[in-house]
Amino acid sequence: MRPAFSKKVKLCIIFENFLQQFAYLKTVMNMELQNKSIDYWHAIAIGGASISSYEESLLSQMKKEPPSRISVIFERECNLHCNHCLYQNEHSSQEFSQHAGLEMILNNIMQQLSRNSEHQYGPSLLHAGRTILPWHIEVLNRIKERTDDVKIGLIDNGSYVKYIDFFKTKCLILDWLDISCDGPEYIHNLQRDPKRRTAYSQMLNGFKHAAEIVQSKVLGGSLNALFTVTTLNYDFVEQTYKMLSNETDISTLHVTPMTPYHPRNFSISPTSKHIFHAFEQVLSINKQNRFNIKPLVFFKLYGIEQFQKFVDTMDVRAVKDMINTMRVSQEVAIFNVNGCNVYFYPTSLWPQNEFLIDADGAQRVAYSQKYTLNQLQDKAATGVYTVQQLSPASDYQEAHEAGVKHWWRVFGRKTIEYEKDVFQRRLFS
């Protein structure tokens, strides 16, 4: 039986719904002025507009916003066996890269990247793992020589130090370096290298030598730490931050909950309480740093599942206020929770975030890394996670448009339906 509401309560509900509709109209007006894909997303997911009403305009706008950053998986083999890893264990993919002509593919794409100042990063290439090898350094150096305005970044676990002399020989200076750090020594090793337990010392060594291969902060370079929240380390965010502040020269720390992809991941997948406890430590750090110039800390949520877990422990009113005061920028939605920003990346708009090139020169989509290259080259998997095989003559704009179309057909539309359902339920519950 439905509960009976007093007149006063009914009026409050009506007024609240009016405010929601007013916020929606404001969103639509802003969208018409700004005309970005994230604004269309906001009108649908937050404002409650029908997907069919804006689908054509959204896709058209997404195609006009090719990322200026290229993410390249140079190597599929890794020296660690992390418990939370998206990848499977693989052998070296170098032969795949040589056969596909990966360097020529990259040279072609990098020449075509937009130099438009509106792009967040400018033309840039991210070495997205899994480990760096000497021939990668040679390729990156030649790309830098051909297109000197391109910025080069690296995600690493500290193993790059093995080839630091080769970096110096080739005079390759990175514009940014991201190193994973998931807790104090015992916890980091437990999560990333439980058998050999050498990951922590390797990570610290990576931070120690970073200044030798990374552009100085004065010239725009940055050294960053990445913290992946699991059930193993959720209680160690603040302790990790203090360690990094004292022992490294990081510019930022990025805290992101893990999303499980394989059965081996499930046991350490963080619950709502784990995720929010990690955020509370980020909040504590930011409050302490309010008047100090110290490394910045960012709390990031990738995908609507992570968002749901994050808000599950929050008061209903607090969630509504958080959503209603949200703002958007580039490909991210920014929520303010107790004075601290939470960055949410809608996966329905993933093609706006990065252009992914795999080790075999194929253009692929998010989460394709959970399959091996052999699996991805199988016909059954190709139609889902592979957009196309790139060549040294590929047109970047056409490839981006193909990626948008592919992602929307396979994942994007059903994802934005899910995102809309979650936000609307939270707003009107």
- Whether 206 has a pLDDT exceeding 90, the answer reads yes
Q: Amino acid identity, residue 7?
A: K
Mean pLDDT score of the chain? 91
Domains of the chain (ranges; CATH) run 66-411 (3.20.20.70)
Q: Amino acid identity, residue 104?
A: M
Model confidence band, residue 290 (pLDDT cutoffs 50, 70, 90): confident
For residues 218-222, give the mean pLDDT: 95
Model confidence band, residue 11 (pLDDT cutoffs 50, 70, 90): low
Of 214, 219, 180, the C-alpha closest to 200 is 180
Chain centre distance of CA 337? 20
| Residue scoring higher pLDDT (114 or 158) | 158
Give the per-residue pLDDT at 33: 42
Structure token pair of residue 261:
């992809």
Give dist(CA 359, CA 73) in Å, integer.
5
Judged on CB neighbours under 10 Å (0-12, 13-18, 19+), 195 is exposed
Model confidence over 134-162: pLDDT tens digits?
999 999 999 999 998 999 999 999 999 99
Structure token pair of residue 216:
């100085």
Of 331, 334, 352, 353, the C-alpha closest to 343 is 334
Neighbours of 238 (CB within 10 A): 17
Q: Where are the beta strands (DSSP E) in 90-215?
A: 124-127, 151-156, 176-180
Model confidence over 77-107: pLDDT tens digits?
999 999 999 999 999 999 999 999 999 999 9
For residues 254-273, give the mean pLDDT: 93
CB 422 within 8 A of CB 304: yes
Sign of the dihedral through C-alpha 356, 360, 361, 362? negative
pTM listed for this prediction: 0.91
Give the per-residue pLDDT at 353: 87
CB 175 within 8 A of CB 181: no
